[in-house]
Chain A
Amino acid sequence: MKLAFSQSNNPQRQKLIKGLHTEARVDTYVKSGNVPLLKEKDSSIKTLAQLHSAFQTAIELEHSTIPPYLVALYSIKDGTNQVATQIIRSVVIEEMLHMILAANILNAIGGEPKINAKNFIPAYPGSLPDSDKSFIINLEKFSKETIDTFLKIEKPAHTNAPPKAKGYHTIGQFYQALMLGLEYVNDHTEGGIFVTDPEKKKRQVTQEHYYGSGGEIVPVYTIKEARLAIEEIVGQGEGIDDTIDDSDEKLFGQGIEYAHYFRFNEILQERMYCEKDTPKSGPTGEKIVVEWDAVHNMKLNPKIKDYQGQPELHEQAKQFNQTYTALLDNIHHACNGEPEMLMKGVGLMYQLKYKAVELMNIPFGDTGEMAGPTFEFEQPKK
């Protein structure tokens, strides 16, 4: 069985990615119908400093989805839920790509990504950074509720939802605001905002530094590539810019890679999308076996201080956090002038997985629940 979501770099993906247009200028944000006219002057972001801060938030936003997706993925017992496992893994790999793409844009406009700091790591339970806080994200084992939260994270923006960098409802709105801001500040700055110094251009993470798949890494040197990078982020996440619930467009079928929202929806509905499906119809294709019970019974939102009564467990959890912190440090350096460091992070990523699964095998006291990774800042031993 060829699974749609496992295809990388499929040109037909564009069928689902229509959110932001590569070649077009600001006037492409004007949609048909009664959508308000958007112009550069409507940008809420007007200075380079604000742009730097907004793209730092973008990196934090992309990262903030990764621990919850990883916890759900690793909580699935080995050898079960094969399709669900493959779907979640494919999404989380793309989130990692998005994080690097956001860092590339920030570097391209002279910013410095800050990834290895304590306040970079979100608290769970919590909301998406700078969002309207309309839903809570937990570190939670694989379950229907968890996948439902993932759908909320990836929910497409309505066509007439305004761009919003602060208090956004969907990630699409957030990136629209950032795109508008890029155009505005770039046009209102003598010589533009994109760095031209060859040394600074070397800060870009390019395809040769990026291990694995999950789409194409876009090195950003001009506004053109910045548009491409944002398009890839929004397109892979949400897919379409149309109203999701009542679109009758035919978007599914063989050879099309679905956006995250639809991939998660396949798990929740326990069915694949097929060719005749529309967003409105939902998936009506092949049945997916989802074993909701074949899951490590991980405690909800564990914190390392919860383990104080179990010193050995505490030590294991601490080691996990040290590995996680080392990985963030590694990505920080990769995004601050040493892109070749990224390859060295691969080993840490594997370790992270093995340590997470070990924690989920350790009982949490007599509660009947299991421990789990806490994703907290812990400086590795020097």
Chain B
Amino acid sequence: MTIQRSEKDLFLEISVYLTGFDEAELQGTGMVNTYYQAVLSNNTQPDVAYFFEMVATILQQNEGNEDALNKAISIHLMPASAYSGMAMNIINMWYTGNWGQNVVSGQAYIQGLIWDAAEAHPPGAKQPGYGSWAIPPL
């Protein structure tokens, strides 16, 4: 049985492979909706439609075989020429909260994956507690 997945579900699913963070971690940022909307508003409608068609295809064809899936992603999605560089822009968006030079939303900077990846925190937000930098991790 194949379940028809919405574009937004596909966006979340492919984001897992593009970012290296699992689904719960991505959902935990609270940014899934905002970022999906940013994909729609920053790309042409045909690019979006073809991109998600390809995403659906490669996810289905390589189900259960992560190596093959990663290979398919690098061949079909990652080239700068593919879908106006959409996959690259999606990775940048998850990590930095920007689409190109534009800030996606006020929360995006705070929720950037870059901070978690570096085991740091966004300066000016998500503070770790006064003086905590003087204390080694528990």
The chain A residues found within 8 Å of chain B, CB to CB, are: 78, 211, 310, 312-313, 315-316, 326, 330, 343-344, 346-351, 354, 357-359, 361-363
Contact = CB atoms under 8 A, between A and B. Distances in A.
Contacts of B126: 350, 354
A313 B130 CA distance: 30
A361 B132 contact: no
Sort chain B's interface into a size bin. 10 to 19
A316 B24 contact: yes
| 5 closest A-B pairs by CB | A358-B28, A312-B24, A346-B129, A361-B30, A347-B132
B27 interface: yes
Interface string B1-36: 000000000000000000000111101111000000
Contacts of B138: 326, 330, 344, 347-348
B24 A346 contact: no
Contacts of A312: 22-25
B135 interface: yes
Contact of A363 (B27, B129, B135): B27
B129 A347 contact: yes
Given A78-B107, A330-B138, A350 B128 contact: yes
Q: Describe B's contact surface by its main secondary structure.
A: loop
B12 to A, nearest CB: 10
B131 interface: yes
A24 B10 CA distance: 70
Nearest to B129: A346
A248 B29 CA distance: 49
A316 B129 contact: no
B128 A362 contact: no
Most buried by B among A310, A312, A354, A363: A312
A315 B24 contact: yes
Contacts of B27: 361-363
Contacts of B28: 316, 357-359, 361-362
Contacts of A361: 27-30
Nearest to A326: B138
Interface string B73-114: 000000000000000000000000000000000010000000
